[in-house]
Structure 1
Amino acid sequence: MYVDMDSLEALNLLARDGTERANRALADLTGASTAIGSTRILLVDREDVVERIETGGYEVVRFDIAGTLSGTALLLFDRPATEAVVDALVGGAEDGMGSAALKETANILMGAFTTDWGDHLGTGLEMTAPTYLDDPDADALQLDPTGPETDSALVFHSSITWRDAAGRIDVYLAPDRAALDPVFAETDADEAEEPADAFDPDEDGLFGIEEGTDSIPLEKLSVFSDLTKEGSAAAAERVTEMTGVETETELAGIAFTPVDDVAAQLGDGDYVGTTVAFEGTPSGSLIVLFDRASATNIAEAMLPIEPDGDGFTDMHESAIEELGNVMTSGFIDGWANVLETGVEHTPPEYVGDVNAAVLELVTEQLGPFQTHAFTIESTLRTEDVAFSCEIHALPDEADLGAALEALAVERKDQTDADPDDLF
């Protein structure tokens, strides 16, 4: 199945508009000052989404959707959002009244969110009554993979946050596999199987498809998302080997994001990290970022002696550079093994202002005319040390198209890299 790029952009903008309406509805309902976060289309492992929901302490309300865009919608209320909503609607009552308040709120928000979807798709959407999930699990969440060769699901994700207090509501809309065909424009199978001419980024359109077609193979993009999880696991393993701190992947996948949101989604936090450029199939840029507290903690776990000086010292920076190098290798080497090609990267460069570095990369790599971008993302965490980090790769679109064209789905499990090649 091929996915039309214009449809991706239109649906992402549709989700953004829906989130804006839901945000206004929430403000009217609760009197709170709220704002929307980034709106993205994700290709992520279903198990990662389920685990994030199960372990995140969320209150979850589910809707089943029928019609052209059949699937599942989930609204996740974190603890501060739950308390704010319940307090506004029923004066802080718990138990049955609290879950009823969440269902009522979810119903209003989803009604606002989906207002224009039926018009866009040319048919109405039918939603079931909201279901409050006491104990959400994989069966209850009902997320379909995009195909038989992948564990990744396609999910529309957006969020609403309180401006002047803690509180966040996440909206996940996950179409069924059968709904993807009518929703996205599909390239004729016979045309897709015709032998391709040599790829020329100056003559070919986005992802190596003829200009005017702008379609990408969803199955291969989903498998590439699977490789992101494998690469994240390899990066986590390298962190464990280097620091002795058991590290694991929380969420990994591919995001289709408005360009303005790529840097904005980092928020106002104080981040440090490393940047590298990688060359091959694909090529692009990669940033490993840490909030400053995490960087301090993991660097000191690596250092054999106490840092010489107060604050974030040169010793901390060197440790972060070394860690960034190992994580980058673990993350991208699996791509080369599956694609049977080389992907080399430059030595990592420490950056003390990751927000500015991301913005610079977006400006230089994407230019002024591109409205959306694919980013490859991963989050790593550990319970032994107060530490988390994120990996963001921004691939060159033409090269990613060549990578998808070369991707042999049957090699997707061959991601293991030779440790001698990593160090």
Structure 2
Amino acid sequence: MYVDIQSLGTFSRLARDGADRAADSLSQLTGANVYVDVTDVTLMAAGDLREAFTGQEFVGVEVGLMGGIAGQTVMAFEREAATELVSRLMPGGSDDPEFVRSGVTEAGNIMTSGFIDGWADHLGVAIDMTPPSYVRESGIDVLPDGAFDDERAGVFLFESQVSSMDADLDLTIFMLPEYSGFTDMLGHEDGGSAAAGDAVPVDKLPTFNRMTKRGAASAAEKVTMMTGTETDVDVSRLRFVPVGDVPSEVGDETVAGTVFELHGEPSGYLAILFDEESAEEVAGSMIPTETDPGIGEMERGALRELGNIMTSGFIDGWANVLGTSIEHTPPEFVHDMGSAVMSPLVSKLGRTQEHAFIIDSTVRTPDGGVRCDIYALPNQRELAAALDRIDAAVADGGRDVPEFDGAR
């Protein structure tokens, strides 16, 4: 099954519009200045989404969808945000569990209706909603039953982050349309347009995610080898986002690391970014002599060296599975807000495409003391064409993703 990139982009915009409507509803309910940070679409095997929800606590509502789109939508608040919401809707009621339940259910229902109405208007179909069910869960339990069933063919997860400038009302909207019905709307069976890179073979996306995980694991091994600090891959996923939203995905935390331009199939960009504290710790472990606090010239050199080796390990897996040759430029050291680091990259990418596949992997130490985020931004048409060439035996699980030795 192939999914048309332009159609996927249309639904990405619909999700953003729906999130904007939901944010407007929340603003009217609470009097707070609420806005949408970013909306993205995650595409991968159902089981691979578990990692993204680990350790989070949610309160919200779940609504079933029937008709033009079948599936489930969850409007989820962080627990603290739910308390703030109820205190605004029902002053003095945030300490009463029943007030919290009714307040969150009412707000969630109004916001979900606004979110779904935009989809129905665009598709010209009726989308019926079940009565909202209150949920209070941790991690993946906030999502509907069966969302992480490994027997499902795959998952399209629409995720919108909604924030407030003057109140702690952050929330996330998760929409999981029924996979088969959604791909019927988006795609087609033959790959006629995939040769030009206009469609993505969704059955091969789990394969691509597996090889990305291996690349991230190889990068983690390089960190361990060069610093003596044990690290592992915390999360790795593939998302489809408007190009202009990529800097918001990365955020405004100050980071230090390296940026590379990739040449080959697919071309694109790769950024390896440590938070400042992690960058100092990792660089310091590579420098044999004691240096002044901060990130000086010796630390920058160490991070360039580490980034160079991590990048080679990360992209070699792509090249082996895709049957292509991918090279990268020398490392460019960066030390700035994450969004500022990504802005020039997406500016270049935006000359040729409106949306981007962003592959993000997080490498951490077991205690969380060191964190490194790896962001890959491949050219979407070249990626789609390369995915179409993946060996069918690899894609359907009959043969494993080829191993690679990191030497290229």
| Fold equivalence (TM over 0.5) | yes
Match of 1:35 in 2: 35
Give the Cα–Cα distance (whole angstroms) in 1 for the partners of residues 156 and 146 of structure 2: 12
Query: Structure 2 vs 1, CA of residues 46 and 259 (structure 1 numbering), >3 Å: closer, same or farther?
Result: same
Q: Which deviates more from structure 2 when the two are superposed, residues 342-351 or residues 130-139?
A: 130-139
Change (3 A) 1:347 1:7: same
- Provide, for residues 169-190 of structure 1, a one-character-per-residue CA deviation record: whole Å limited to 9, x for no partner: 1111111222223321x3353x
| 1:294 corresponds to 2:278 | yes
Q: Does 1:372 align with 2:359?
A: no
Q: Deviations over 1:33-56 (max 9, x none)?
A: 221111112214544533433412
- What is the Cα deviation at residue 18 of structure 1? 0.7
Between 1:219-228 and 1:45-54, the stretch displaced more is: 45-54
1:383 CA drift (Å): 4.2
Describe the shift of the 1:57–1:170 C-alpha distance in structure 2 as closer, same or farther (beyond 3 A): same
2:43 and 2:31 map into 1 onto residues whose CA distance is 34
Q: Percent identity?
A: 36
**Among 139, 143, 147, which residue is 2:147 paired with?**
143
The corresponding residue for 1:317 is 300
Shift of 1:287: 0.8
Pairing 1:56–2:56 present: yes
Specify every segment of 5 or more residues in structure 1 that has no aligned partner in the other structure, as ranges. Answer: 195-204
Equivalence for 1:169: 171
TM-score by length of 1: 0.84
Distance in 2 between residues matched to 1:82 and 1:301, nearest whole Å: 42
How far the C-alpha of 1:11 sits from its partner, in A, is 0.9
Q: 2:31, 2:18 → 1: CA distance?
A: 19
Q: Which SS does the other structure have where 1:362 is aligned?
A: helix
What are the Cα deviations for residues 291-343 of structure 1, in whole angstroms up to 9, with x where unaligned?
3233223333444443x223221222123223322332232222122223332
1:392 aligns with 2:378: no
Give runs of aligned pairs for residues 271-420 of structure 1, distance below 5 A: 271-306=255-290, 308-353=291-336, 354-367=338-351, 370-411=353-394, 413-419=400-406
Q: Deviations over 1:366-390 (max 9, x none)?
A: 31x6322222222233343533222
Counterpart contact for 2:18–2:118, Cα < 8 Å: yes
The answer to whether the 8 A contact 1:50-1:141 is kept is no
Counterpart of 2:19? 19
Is the 8 Å Cα contact of residues 45 and 206 (structure 2) preserved in structure 1?
no
- 1:333–1:89 distance in 2 versus 1, CA, 3 Å: same
The corresponding residue for 2:196 is 209
Amino acid at match of 2:404: A
Q: Any gaps of 5 or more consecutive residues in structure 2?
A: none
Whether the 8 Å CA contact 1:72–1:142 is kept in 2: the answer is: no
1:297–1:385 Cα contact (<8 Å) kept: no
Alpha-carbon distance in 2 for matches of 1:17, 1:66: 20
Question: For residues 354 and 151 of structure 2, what CA distance do their matches in structure 1 show?
Answer: 28
Match of 1:117 in 2: 119
8 Å contact kept, 1:25–1:109: yes
Q: Distance in 2 between matches of 1:370 and 1:283?
A: 13
CA RMSD after TM alignment: 2.8
Counterparts of 2:59 and 2:33, CA distance in 1? 21
> Which residue of the other structure, out of 241, 248, 268, is the alignment partner of 2:232?
248
Alpha-carbon distance in 2 for matches of 1:103, 1:10: 29
Residue in structure 2 matched with residue 5 of structure 1 by the alignment: 5
